[in-house]
Amino acid sequence: MFIAAAPVIPIALRLFYLQTINHDNLSATAGREFNRTVSETGPRGRIFDTDGNLLAESIVTWNCSLFKKELQDPPRALDSLASALAIPKKDLLAKYRKSKNFVIVKKNLDQSQAEAVRALKLKGVLLDSWQNRYYPSGNLARNILGIVGADKGLTGVELLYNKVLTGQVSRREIVRDAGGKIIYKNELEGEAAPMDIHLTIDKNIQFFAQEAIKKYAEKNRSDLAMVLVQDPNTGRILAMATYPEDLEKIEPVEWVYEPGSTFKAITLSAALEKNIVTTKDAFYCENGAWALNNKVTIHDHEPEKSLTLSGVIERSSNIGAAKIGLKLGLENFYLYVRAFGFGTKTGLGFPGESPGILRAIEKYKTVDLAVGSYGHGMAATPIQVVNAYSALANGGELLETRLVDRITNSDGKAVFKNEPAVVRRIISKDTDATVKNILLNVVESGTGKNAAVPGYLIAGKTGTSKKIDPRTGKYLTNKNVASFCGFFPADKPQYTILVILDNPKVLYYGGETAAPAFQEIAKKIITLKGIKPDKGLLGRKAAVSAPVTD
């Protein structure tokens, strides 16, 4: 009896030691040897333009490496690996001998090479996937698309929709036996595959915008230049180009400037809507200089005596616009400025988007209202300005801005559709028709003649504003922002275009610099889309000469 029980005592003591005293060490060893959590991420989602043209996709490559201590039958394994990867066996053997344990065999394997390695089923050989972002259209819309880092988007759409494009990482717990054979594999439920994004950007119009803004920025030696093209009936952004391009920023939503005389259309709209002015009114423009008070004198580019309401806008009279604004009153002015979307973000969602600069109403003085009426003393983003003009183009409704049209899954089925949405009606259709007619006059016989396209009704407004020194808050000498914003065909507008040139050094005014760029882009869109000439031209007056300034 004692002899039979004798072996039980040392066995029990050994089990007690293994299970209790040395439990942690054995568990860690077992984990290192037999358990491994493998993370796998599928290719990043693709980005398309509005017509399905590919703008960005990921190319997956693999890095092959091995652990010497896990490799069975090294001579045979290395021979098979060298053959599968088409690398000299002597080179692989040299790497193997120099390394202590971890050996990088080859980087950037394509799919066929990775599959060849997998087929070998060699224990200790690893394949790590890596993604390289590829942009088939080169630099087209790159400021919008943004930059991708090692595992996530860093700027632009790549950052804003990173979770959609990345999906959810697939993690698997694998348990192997001593021979390396998988005896248990657990896949997590609810994994989300990366999805594709379809932008509202039109590839061809984006190309026109980029080419034109580069041309006119270089021609006028501008510090910065931008073009935005929008569908005024849906709020969809069709092009958003910047030159020179900074992939770290999206300038049209981050950069702020005094919109200058393009803002006169906002003041005009508010005054007409509130019945403060009519088209029959005339405004004395003080022969080009008006002393508002003892400290402030408002100047016009050209001395004018009495101008009609339309004439104030056609000739871009600051004095006339200031008088309209003062007649409108601060409360009405401020209400309509906010109603047109100034002072608030558009909702696109980019981290660096600015709401612009619009001081609180209680901080406004008479002079602020006067100069604000022609777009000075406040700041806007380009996206705010183009949105406001799209509201004028579509009959008076401010729409939500759209850059993404839809999101689709791996089967191409839409899981999200970004439908057009009206934020608010700002002015009536009757008021809007009057504003449109005056903006048509600007292009036909006023400061915007260089934006005209023969045979088509073009409505718009020029702008030239001074630049402010951010350090002192004072205006800089001989530095300005020139712009033109307009839409066409004016009877049934389909496109709104804003052109901005920051600090042009050859020509100065918006009518000289930005308006010709608008014309060039408009002509190309008309040809591309096959837009027929306007029948409404028969009822329009013939253009007369006017100085091309603001």
Each residue's pLDDT tens digit, 478-501: 899 999 999 999 989 999 999 999
State whether 478 and 380 are in the same domain: yes
Element of type H or E holding 133: strand 125-134
In a domain, 480, yes or no: yes
In a domain, 496, yes or no: yes
Q: Which residues contact 338 (CB under 8 A, 6 or more apart)?
A: 344, 358
In a domain, 547, yes or no: no
Distance, C-alpha 436 to centroid of its chain: 29
Q: What's the pLDDT score for residue 149? A: 87
In a domain, 491, yes or no: yes
State whether 130 and 224 are in the same domain: no
State whether 372 and 273 are in the same domain: yes
**Dmax (CA) of the chain:** 129
Q: What's the pLDDT score for residue 545? A: 36
In a domain, 28, yes or no: no
Mean pLDDT by 10 residues, the chain (550 residues): 54 55 52 49 88 93 91 92 94 91 92 93 89 91 92 92 79 51 48 88 98 97 97 98 93 96 98 97 95 92 94 97 97 98 95 94 96 96 98 98 95 94 97 97 96 96 89 84 96 96 95 98 97 70 47
State whether 311 and 243 are in the same domain: yes
State whether 296 and 268 are in the same domain: yes
- Residues across the chain: 550
Report the CATH number that the domain containing residue 182 is assigned in CATH: 3.90.1310.10
Q: What's the pLDDT score for residue 499? A: 98
State whether 191 and 221 are in the same domain: no
State whether 235 and 311 are in the same domain: yes
State whether 194 and 224 are in the same domain: no
Report the CATH number that the domain containing residue 289 is assigned in CATH: 3.40.710.10
Q: What's the pLDDT score for residue 548? A: 46
Q: What's the pLDDT score for residue 542? A: 39
In a domain, 29, yes or no: no
> Each residue of 423-475: pLDDT tens digit?
999 999 999 999 999 999 999 999 999 999 999 999 999 999 998 877 777 88
Nearest to 214, CA basis, from 204, 201, 203, 227 = 227
Distance, C-alpha 257 to centroid of its chain: 18
How many domains does the chain contain in total? Answer: 2
Are 481 and 492 spatial neighbours (Cβ–Cβ below 8 Å)? no
Q: Which residues contact 183 (CB under 8 A, 6 or more apart)?
A: 175, 176, 177
> Each residue of 200-225: pLDDT tens digit?
999 999 999 999 999 999 999 999 99
Q: What's the pLDDT score for residue 307? A: 96
State whether 361 and 420 are in the same domain: yes
State whether 186 and 223 are in the same domain: no
Residue with tokens 């989300």: 192
Q: What's the pLDDT score for residue 59? A: 87
State whether 210 and 97 are in the same domain: no
Cα 224 to Cα 216, 252, 351, 482: the distances in Å are 11, 11, 21, 11
CB-based burial of residue 426 (10 Å sphere; 0-12 exposed, 13-18 middle, 19+ buried)?
buried
Which residues span the domain enclosing 48? Answer: 44-83+91-168+176-199
In a domain, 130, yes or no: yes
In a domain, 2, yes or no: no
State whether 102 and 236 are in the same domain: no
